[in-house]
Structure 1
């Protein structure tokens, strides 16, 4: 029974050795391939810089009109349009315009990337139960792992800056896009698919003309959740150099600036509410449009 009493110590020694080996190998990998991996993300960095340049250098009346036009197109609701415009004007009035524009550009880029990555994965999952059984546990880990943990490997590989922050935000915000794309396509009425088969539709035609249009409201809900989760990461991403409303919040926490933290926190909330209302309204419009077409 002596081995039983020494088991915790043996286990601790084994774990210490294992951790040391993993850490050393990861550092060696970072030194060997870090620069090459960083080069792969150059187009992403260019996309983010251009988006930020557009939002920060475009005159504020143009941005307000553009946001109002997008809100009207998505919702056809004057209350939502007025809410979006008033939110932006208040952000500008309290001197947070530039940081807010940086945050909005980050969220837009993250959302676009999440759609580009998540939509094909969700479609592939909807076509294969085996792939779904493999991907679902990965998504579970991505959604339950503390958001700070995402920053560790990304920062070690790419350092501190915009791109590492963007990658961390995308990893955190991606699961809802994948899950709801998969769910939306799987919920398409089997009778509709059988009718498409009867008309001789190919697999691609069924996906493009039947499944994706009918799943679009659910996919829009996924986009909405992706935006909300990306905004939730704004303050945490500021810790590794992502500029925007998150940095003043961190500054306020470090220096006990109550009003600075509250105002910038409320600005994040305001942007989140605008994105949420606009995307939800667009999803409802799509749903009604599809009900009319298939009613």
Structure 2
């Protein structure tokens, strides 16, 4: 390919397309396994959330809210999720919640170890920063195109796009939390002969937990926002309802599905924030 300095054209998109085609053929078994695992996890959580009678599930969610934050959030949960059922968005909401749970579990399982590695190694931190910048700066819908090409349409591409989009704040805040731990406390542990593993598990992680929980909170919020966009990838749930309302100009469906998303977002935000505050309170009491 000849390069014209005065009329430049770099076929970067074609290179990426060729790389995706090569990856799809070369790693077809691995991609199939990944699709099976993610699909199985989604099916399990959706079954667990949607199989019980909705009143039982509402009580369970309210009990979790009570344990995490108190009676006010429990009352909100009872009223909010009953309203979701009254809007006939219960099945869609449980589908969305199942997809969020799968995406958040995997994103957290990846982001926290990466954040710890970045905090321990400046080289890892330097490598990860531009990658995380790219992941956060790339428009969310741009993730869907190559993922749909690789995995087709359905829940799996929606879950993968959600994981990619939601992962960066978990890594960043975990690294920040570990780096902000008082060096004198770490040195005291080393002076008493504690190993690096004990220092991490007994000193750094407990002290960093409030900030790590804030990162998990951000992961959950980004995952929920992306799950709605994942409706364009064929994912069911509230995202699919919103996309359907746009294509058919169904105002009622769009408003009802949007309100259900708000209720779920507030519930998840308040529960995770309360868990983070409780971690900080327990740390203060033990100090």
TM-score by length of 1: 0.91
The correspondence for 1:62, drawn from 56, 65, 77, is 56
Two-structure CA RMSD over aligned residues (Å): 1.6
Q: CA deviation at 1:36?
A: 4.2
The correspondence for 1:207, drawn from 186, 195, 200, is 200
The correspondence for 1:132, drawn from 125, 128, 153, is 125
* Farther off after superposition, 24-33 or 270-279: 24-33
* Farther off after superposition, 121-130 or 66-75: 66-75
Larger radius of gyration: 1
Q: CA deviation at 1:234?
A: 1.9
- The question of 1:103 aligning with 2:72 is answered no
Aligned to 1:26: 20
Aligned to 1:38: 32
Shift in CA distance, 21/218, structure 1 to aligned 2, threshold 3 Å? closer
Shift in CA distance, 7/192, structure 1 to aligned 2, threshold 3 Å? closer
**Secondary structure in 2 matching 1:233:** helix
Give the distance between the partners of 2:207 and 2:165, measured in 1 at CA. Answer: 27
Give the distance between the partners of 2:281 and 2:115, measured in 1 at CA. Answer: 24
Where does structure 1 lack aligned partners over 5 or more consecutive residues? 1-5
The correspondence for 1:167, drawn from 160, 169, 174, is 160
The number of aligned residues is: 284
Give the distance between the partners of 1:114 and 1:152, measured in 2 at CA. Answer: 20
- CA deviations 1:129-153 (Å, max 9, x no partner) are 1110110111111111000111122
- The question of 1:112 aligning with 2:115 is answered no
Where does structure 2 lack aligned partners over 5 or more consecutive residues? none
Q: CA deviation at 1:272?
A: 0.3
Give the distance between the partners of 1:256 and 1:22, measured in 2 at CA. Answer: 35
Q: CA deviation at 1:28?
A: 4.2
1:100-249 matched pairs, under 5 angstroms: 100-249=93-242
Give the distance between the partners of 2:16 and 2:144, measured in 1 at CA. Answer: 17
TM-score by length of 2: 0.94
Aligned to 1:3: none
Aligned to 1:51: 45
**Secondary structure in 2 matching 1:58:** coil
